[in-house]
Chain A
Amino acid sequence: MEDNTKGIVLALITTAIVSIAQILLKLGSEKFNITSVQGILSQFTNYHLIIGGFLYVGGAVLLIMAFRYGELSVVYPIMASSYIFVTLLSAKYLGEIITGPKVAGLIMIFIGVLFIGNSGKAGEKFVKTNQKKLSTKGDQ
C-alpha cells in the first residue's frame, strides 16, 4: 500500500513538470522546421523547444521512479491530471479559452483520477496481490 502511494505522489510531480514542458513545446513548435539546413540550425536557438524538451526528458526519469513504486494501471492514469494542469496553463500563457464542456470534462477527469488513486482500497484481493509484489521486490 505504502509503495503505491509513493508512486502516486511521484506521478503527480511528474505530471506538473510535463505539463509545463508541453506549454513550452507548443510555443517552440511554431518555430519548428527541420526541412532545411537553415531550419535545423535555427532549432539551436529555439529555447522553448530546448527547455521544453529537457523538462520532458526530466519528466521521463521521474516517471521511471513513479513506475518503480506503483502499478502501471495506477501510475499512468494518475497522469491524466495533466489535462487539468495543461488547460489552466494554456489559458494563462497561450490565451486558449476555458469553455463549459472543458470545465465539465475536467471535473470528470478529476473524479476519475480520485477513483484510480483510491483503487488500492478496493478490496482484500488487491491488497494481497500488492503485498505479494512488494515481497518479490524486496527479494531482488
Chain B
Amino acid sequence: MDPMYKGLFFILIASIIGAFATLNFKKGSAEKISIYNKHLIKAVSLSVFSFTFYIYALQTAPLTFIYLTASISYIWTILLAKYALGEDINQFKKVGIFLIVFGIIVMNL
C-alpha cells in the first residue's frame, strides 16, 4: 500500500477512536479527577489506543498532511456534543466549525 494512504488510514482510525475519547474526557471532567473516575479511565484507554495509530501515521506521512483527515474529528466531536451531551449548536459554532474544517482542507491543497 502507498505509504500516504497507509498514513491516512491510520489517522482515520485514530481520529474516530479519539473523538470518543474526547467525549469521555468531557463527561469525566464534571466528576472528581481520580483513578476511579470511570469516564476518565475509558477516555485514557481510548487515547492510548488512538495514540498508537497516531504514531504509526506520523511515521508514514508528513505532519501537516495528516491533519487533512484529522479535520473530520471536529465534525464528529460537534455531533457528539449535540447528540450525546445535548449542547446547543448555534450559528456561530456552525460557521466556526465550517471555517475550521474548510481551512484545514485549504491548508493541505
What 1/0 flags go to B19-33 for Cβ under 8 Å of A? 000110110111001
**Contact (A115, B103) CB under 8 Å given A26-B63, A72-B80, A73-B87:** no
Contact present for B58 and A25 (CB under 8 Å): yes
Residues of B within 8 A of A131 (CB): none
**Contact (A109, B104) CB under 8 Å given A63-B25, A67-B25:** yes
Contact present for A101 and B108 (CB under 8 Å): yes
Interface SS majority for chain A: helix
In this complex, how many residues of chain A approach chain B with their Cβ under 8 Å: the count is 54
Interface: A68 (CB within 8 A): yes
Interface SS majority for chain B: helix
**Contact (A125, B88) CB under 8 Å given A112-B103, A115-B95:** yes
Interface: B77 (CB within 8 A): yes
What 5 additional pairs, Cβ within 8 angstroms, besides A65-B29, A73-B78, A118-B92? A77-B93, A96-B63, A108-B100, A108-B102, A119-B92
10 closest A-B pairs by CB: A105-B107, A112-B99, A108-B103, A115-B96, A119-B92, A116-B96, A105-B106, A109-B103, A67-B29, A73-B81
